[in-house]
């Protein structure tokens, strides 16, 4: 069983397509093909039901923290209740992400990404102390080529892209931000609430723009582009206004130190005694410098608005869902991944001419995906095996409960035949609800 650092467990095919790929492999007889399809259909229905319960659990625990809530609460929750719901929400959310084959990114990893030059040229800062909870997961770590401007020319650069990013942020309460002297009406979020996002195709070096509390400012390069021209133009203005400046200095010296001091700086005594030229010189200087300052400030604000628009467009067009709607997307993805993994395990055990161990099966599936479709994955073998072991039901015409799969003492995997597997999963589906007050008692199978 190989270990990879450059592969993911995600299976990049739809469940329905994966079933067709298995059937097109030609290893099943014609009568087996239809039975296999039927088994996969009822298996998918079973996991759809299972994950629906997980969805309801997420919605129930998210309700007190939902910033988009449009319903009224019928109970007032205590601080202990809120803490318990927050804990259950975070735990379940992370479980769903893992079952959807997402991978975690720690705060340390995020901070390292923030320190690297971003594709979107912004100077950004995220204060992680603002959060009570922060969960960041991604899926689909790929490299792509894009064109960007560098030193007044276009160049092609390779960037690291996360095809999917899931983010949960629980902000601290209002008292924290008041103590921080933050302007509450200027915040892009509500203190004490939880925000959940799902994005697509986000560059690794632009991850900070996904955080609602990100502070944006100009990069040093853009500041220099403003400062250098400002200095050049400012020097020009000073030289142009130098006669007026000398005249103003002369007025000050004339009335403080006398006519001789004014002559020393080159100010004409006649002009100094004439108030109107002095006033004109002062107004000229104020207007010139003031106009230049307004021009530079307007230029900065225009550039800042341009950057903010670029960031807004990036988030708008790459946002897949927000808050409660994220649950539906992730539950669907987890349901698909879990079912696809079981289908692959079941198919390869069913068609194998000899029994396989866990390691052999794992290598067989990864090799099959690579050889047949050129798709390299790091298959998660343990999860689907446990699921098949946990699905139990009676064999036809007997009360003996058996799992779909069991392991012997040597670690070899044994699968129920296709007909028996269909019967077991069909029985499980039929008995999901027992509302008639009669509990079904079955005799457990003896361990092999």
Number of domains in the chain: 3
**Residue 94: enclosing H or E segment and its boundaries?**
helix 79-99
Average pLDDT of every residue of the chain: 83
pLDDT band at 432 (very low <50, low <70, confident <90, very high): confident
Residue 211 sits in the same domain as residue 282: no
pLDDT at 120 over 60: no
At 341-377, the pLDDT tens digits run: 999 999 999 999 999 999 999 999 999 999 999 999 9
Q: Is the pLDDT of residue 63 over 90?
A: yes
- Give a yes or no: residue 354 inside a domain: yes
Whether residue 106 is found in the same domain as residue 212 = yes
In a domain, 313, yes or no: no
Q: In this structure, are 89 and 110 located in the same domain?
A: no
- Residue (of 356, 332, 371, 362) closest to 344 by Cα position: 362
| pLDDT in the model for residue 106 | 86
The span from the CA of 55 to the CA of 115, in Å, is 36
Alpha carbon of residue 104 to chain centroid:
10
What is the average pLDDT across 25-52? 94
80 burial level (CB within 10 Å; 0-12, 13-18, 19+):
exposed
Q: How far apart are CA 333 and CA 228, in angstroms?
A: 52
**Mean pLDDT value of segment 23-29:** 93
Regarding whether 227 and 330 lie in a shared domain, the answer is no
Q: Sign (positive/negative) of CA torsion 185, 191, 197, 201?
A: positive
How high is the pLDDT of residue 442? 42
Provide the token pair at 99: 């079952």
pLDDT, average across residues 7-21: 96
In a domain, 441, yes or no: no
- Rounded Cα distance between 413 and 357, Å, is 6
In this structure, is residue 442 part of a structural domain? no
Q: Confidence class of residue 17 from pLDDT cuts 50, 70 and 90?
A: very high
Per DSSP, the three-state class of 197 is strand
Residue 133 CB partners (closer than 8 Å, separation 6+): 86, 90, 168, 169, 170, 194
Residue 445 lies in a domain: no
Same domain, yes or no, for 147 and 62? no
Note whether 211 and 301 are same-domain residues: no
Burial class (CB in 10 A: 0-12, 13-18, 19+), 178: exposed
Which residues are paired to 174 by β-bridges? none
**Is 406 in the same domain as 371?**
yes
The average pLDDT across 140-144 equals: 89
Q: What is the C-alpha separation between 437 and 445, in angstroms, rounded? A: 25
Find the range with the poorest average confidence among 99-108, 342-351, 394-403: 394-403
pLDDT above 90 as % of the chain: 54
Q: State the residue range of the domain holding 205.
A: 100-217
pLDDT digits (tens, 9 = 90+) for 64-82: 999 999 999 898 999 999 9
């Amino acid at each position: 069983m190989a270990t990879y650092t450059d592969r993911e467990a995600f299976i990049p095919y739809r469940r329905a397509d994966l079933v067709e790929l298995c059937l097109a492999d030609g290893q099943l007889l014609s009568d087996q093909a239809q039975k296999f399809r039927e088994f996969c259909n009822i298996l998918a229905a079973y996991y759809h039901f299972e994950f629906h319960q997980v969805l309801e659990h997420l919605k129930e625990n998210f309700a007190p923290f939902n910033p988009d809530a449009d319903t009224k609460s019928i109970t007032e929750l205590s601080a202990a209740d809120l803490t318990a719901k927050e804990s259950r929400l975070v735990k379940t959310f992370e479980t769903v992400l893992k079952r959807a084959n997402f991978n975690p990114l720690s705060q340390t990893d995020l901070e390292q990404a923030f320190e690297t030059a971003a594709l979107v040229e912004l100077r950004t800062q995220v204060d992680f102390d603002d959060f009570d909870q922060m969960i960041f997961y991604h899926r689909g770590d790929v490299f792509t080529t894009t064109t960007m401007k560098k030193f007044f020319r276009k160049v092609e650069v390779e960037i690291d892209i996360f095809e999917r990013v899931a983010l949960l942020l629980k902000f601290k309460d209002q008292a924290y931000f008041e103590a921080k002297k933050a302007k509450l009406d200027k915040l892009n979020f509500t203190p004490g609430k939880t925000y959940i996002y799902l994005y697509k195709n986000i560059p690794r070096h632009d991850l900070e723009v996904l955080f609602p509390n990100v502070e944006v400012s100009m990069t040093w390069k853009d500041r220099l582009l403003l400062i250098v021209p400002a200095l050049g133009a400012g020097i020009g203005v000073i030289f142009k206004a130098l006669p007026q400046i000398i005249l103003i200095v002369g007025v000050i010296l004339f009335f403080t130190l006398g006519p001789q001091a004014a002559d020393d700086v080159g100010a004409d005594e006649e002009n100094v005694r004439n108030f109107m030229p002095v006033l004109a010189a002062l107004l000229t200087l104020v207007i010139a410098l003031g106009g230049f300052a307004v021009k530079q400030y307007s230029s900065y604000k225009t550039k800042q608005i341009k950057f903010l628009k670029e960031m807004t467009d990036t988030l708008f067009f790459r946002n897949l869902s927000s808050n409660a709607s994220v649950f539906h997307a992730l539950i669907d993805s987890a349901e698909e991944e879990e079912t696809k993994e079981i289908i692959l395990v079941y198919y390869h055990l069913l068609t194998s001419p000899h029994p396989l161990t866990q390691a052999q099966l794992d290598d067989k599936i990864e090799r099959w995906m690579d050889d047949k479709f050129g798709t390299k994955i790091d298959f998660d073998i343990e999860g689907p095996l446990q699921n098949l072991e946990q699905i139990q039901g009676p064999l036809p015409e007997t009360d003996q409960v058996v799992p779909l799969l069991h392991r012997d003492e040597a670690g070899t995997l044994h699968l129920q035949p296709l007909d028996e597997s269909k019967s077991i999963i069909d029985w499980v589906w039929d008995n999901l609800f027992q509302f008639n007050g009669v509990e079904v008692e079955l005799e457990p199978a003896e361990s092999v």
